[in-house]
Structure 1
Amino acid sequence: MKALLLSAYAADSHRYWARGLTAHLEMIDWTLIELAPRHFQWRVRGNPLSFMSEHDATLSQAFDLIVATSLVDLATLVGLYPHLGRAYRVVYFHENQFAYPLGQDQKPRIEPLMVNLYSALAADRVLFNSQWNRDSFFDGVAGFLKKMPERVAPVRLETLKARTDILPVPLWPLAEAPSVEREAPARIIWNHRWEYDKNPEDFFAALEVLSDKGLEFELVVMGQMFRQRPEVFDQAAERLSRHITCWGHQTRERYLEELGKGGIVVSSAWHEFQGLAVMEAVQHGCVPLVPERLCFPEYYADRYRYDGSREALIERLAQWLTSPATRPQAPHISTWTWPQMTPRYQSQLQPSA
Structure 2
Amino acid sequence: MSCRASVAASTREQIHVWLLSAYHADSHAAWANWLTATFPSIDWQMLTLPGRHFAWRIRGNPLSWLDALPERRPDLIMATSMVDLATLKGLHPQLHDVPSWLYFHENQFAYPQSQRQFRSLDPCMVQLYAALAADRLLFNSRFNRDSFLAGIEALMQRLPDHQPAGLRARLESRCDVLPVPVRSIKAGKSRDCRLIVWNHRWEYDKAPDRFAAAMMALDALGVDFRVALLGKRSESAPEALVRIRKQLGHRIIADGHLPRDEYESLLGRAGIIVSTALHEFQGLSVLEAASAGARPLVPDALCYAEQYPAEYRYRPDDPKALSEKLQHWLTGTLPPQFRPDDWLVPSLAPKWKGLINSIEKR
Under a length normalisation based on structure 1, what TM-score does the superposition of the two structures give? 0.92
Deviation at 1:212, TM superposition (A): 1.4
**For the residues of structure 2 that align with 1:303 and 1:180, how far apart are their CA atoms?**
25
Aligned to 2:192, the other structure's residue is in SS state coil
Aligned with 1:140 (options 132, 139, 151): 151
Contact 2:194–2:224 under 8 Å retained in 1: yes
Mapped to 1, the partners of 2:146 and 2:39 lie a distance apart of: 28
The residue that corresponds to 2:110 in the other structure is 99
Q: How far 1:335 sits from its partner (Å)?
A: 3.2
- Report 1:227-306 matches (<5 A): 227=235, 230-306=238-314
Residue 17 of structure 1 corresponds to 31
2:89 to 67, 78, 94: 78
> Are residue 167 (structure 1) and residue 175 (structure 2) matched?
no
Q: Which moved more, 1:332-341 or 1:299-308?
A: 332-341
Deviation string, structure 1 residues 82-113 (Cα, Å, up to 9, x no partner): 22233321101111001111102112111101
Q: How much has 1:336 moved relative to structure 2?
A: 2.1
Residues 81-90 or 61-70, more deviating: 81-90
List per-residue Cα deviations over 1:102-145 (Å, max 9, x = no partner). Answer: 10211211110111101111111101111111111111111112
The one-character-per-residue Cα deviations of 1:52-111 (angstroms, maximum 9, x if unpaired) are 24x23x2x3211121111010011111122222333211011110011111021121111
> What is residue 114 of structure 1 aligned with on the other side?
125
Identity score, percent? 44
What amino acid maps onto 1:339 in structure 2?
P
Q: Which amino acid aligns with 2:105?
A: H
* Counterpart pick for 1:41 among 55, 61, 83: 55
Code of the aligned partner of 2:22: A
Q: Which moved more, 1:221-230 or 1:38-47?
A: 221-230
The one-letter code of the counterpart of 2:63 is L
**Cα distance in 2 between the residues matched to 1:109 and 1:271:** 18
Aligned to 2:168: 157
1:4-61 CA-to-partner distances (Å, cap 9, x unmatched) read: 11111111111111111112122212111111011110111001111224x23x2x32
- How many Å separate the matches in 2 of 1:151 and 1:144? 13
Residue 338 in 1 paired to residue 345 in 2? yes
- Shift of residue 221, structure 1, vs aligned partner: 1.0
Paired letter, 2:48: E
The number of aligned residues is 344
Q: Match of 2:65?
A: 51
Partners of 2:234 and 2:251 in 1: how far apart?
23
> How many angstroms apart in 2 are the aligned matches of 1:85 and 1:342?
30
Q: Distance in 2 between matches of 1:31 and 1:351?
A: 15
Tell me the SS of whatever aligns to 1:9.
strand
Contact 1:130-1:168 at 8 Å conserved across structures: yes
Unaligned runs of 5+ in 2: 1-14
Tell me which amino acid in the other structure corresponds to 1:18.
A
Partner residue, 1:62: 73
* TM-score, normalisation: structure 2: 0.90
CA distance in 1, matches of 2:39, 2:337: 29
Q: Structure 1 248/154 Cα, relative in aligned 2: closer, same or farther at 3 Å?
A: farther
